[in-house]
Amino acid sequence: MKKVFLLTLSLLLIVVLASCGSSDGGSKETTPEQTKDPLGGGVIRTVAPATEPPAPVETDIDYSKYTPTAEKLAEYDYVKIFEAPKGNPRDIVYNYMYAMSQIEWKATKGWNTHWKVQGDFGVNITYEEGKTYYGIPYSNTKCGLSVFENFVIDGTFTPNSEYYEELIGNHCSSSMGLAYQQIIDLPYSGGLKENSARRGLIKLAAPLEIPPSRTENNPDDWISETVTAHNGVDKLYEAYASLDKGDILYKMIDGSGHTRMVSKVEVNKTVAGKIIPSRSYVYCLEQTNAWADNKRESTWFIDRKYSFETLNSTNFTPFTLCIFHEENPKIYDAYIMMKGKNTPETIKKMLAGTIESTFPLNYVRATITDADGKIVSEAFKYDFTKNYKVNIRDMTYTLNADKLPTGTYTFNLKAGIARGSWDIETIEFTVE
């Protein structure tokens, strides 16, 4: 009886923390339907939250660019303000990521997404004509939700290319970067780690510390294995436990890695307070190069769970955004601005205009439609990384407006950032 009592007491004392916040093809862990939290969950804790004030954030960021003066804005012919989203920063980024995973579309033709020039991991995703799919397609072009929405016509999507390097879409880290661009200026650079260029933006999850670099002249040459070796497994498990909605799991290896966005965390501890890594989990939202299930209708994994033990053995390192830990986080308005105006004559001879932004540009698109509304010519700039300025003059040679058949046409110029798109100009012109 005494042993039964002690066993019961031990089970009751196990501490479970659940908190809200890219998949290994070989992972055997799946997310049973009953463990999913369709609403994202609230914060459920059986221990009191920390009450210490957040540590000051060290930063090299010049915030003045995000608040241009009226005098500065007067230099432009067109200005669009994308107001800062309101609410919890973690919810803002997670909700955008989730929206990208849920957009519904039907394929107008079948195709297979694959490499144009073979890379160091496999891409082999086959879509069927007429089938309904969910989520932005997997590709290397870093397109946000508003970009993809431009190409979903009456609920259907026609691929612009079969190549991974060209298809309109995004992948694990670029999708997350676009989500983070809802609240911070975070240009794409391949991964999502703390480094010299991102001081004040991304940091290792506490209590992890940056390990010594593997290269003398490059302070940022460290990977998941060196983080774990430097800090120890116990601290790594503590860092997993500290994660919350919107945080980062990054498989940093030599070669292509993978990133996942945290949905929530479930921590189980022994009576003595030690984390049980095989029974503690991180639930993730991620864009992948594989079908989420045998329905083959999405490459997005929703609330798939991974044990701390598996995350450690597969080299996933936890990171977080600095803004998530600020007492009064400041999210700035974003601006797209253009110098130059077009006319019916410039459209046919030479386009005028330089588009600038305070947050990374995601695309610029110019279209010409005929009297029936059909696109007859198009110039599309995308797959941007750190682009804050784009000159549209060279789009003249792609559009070839002066070579169109006689008739009346409509020119439209549009640009976008992760937060959304803006119709800058719509001009009617005639070709005689």
Q: How does residue 199 score in pLDDT terms, banded at 50, 70 and 90? A: confident
In angstroms, the CA 115 to CA 138 distance is: 12
54: pLDDT strictly greater than 70: no
Whole-number percent of the chain with pLDDT over 70? 86
For the chain, what is the radius of gyration of the CA atoms?
24
CB atoms within 10 A of CB 112: 10
10-48 pLDDT, tens digit per residue, is: 433 333 323 222 322 333 333 322 222 222 322 222 223
In angstroms, the CA 90 to CA 273 distance is: 28
In angstroms, the CA 50 to CA 73 distance is: 43
The two tokens of residue 327 are 């007492």
What one-letter code names the amino acid at 154?
D
Q: What number is the average pLDDT over the span 377-384? A: 98
What is the model's pTM? 0.86
The residue extents of the domains of the chain are 12-30+39-46+87-325, 334-431
* Fold assignment, 334-431: Immunoglobulin-like (2.60.40)
158-175 pLDDT, tens digit per residue, is: 999 999 999 999 999 999
The two tokens of residue 160 are 């612009």
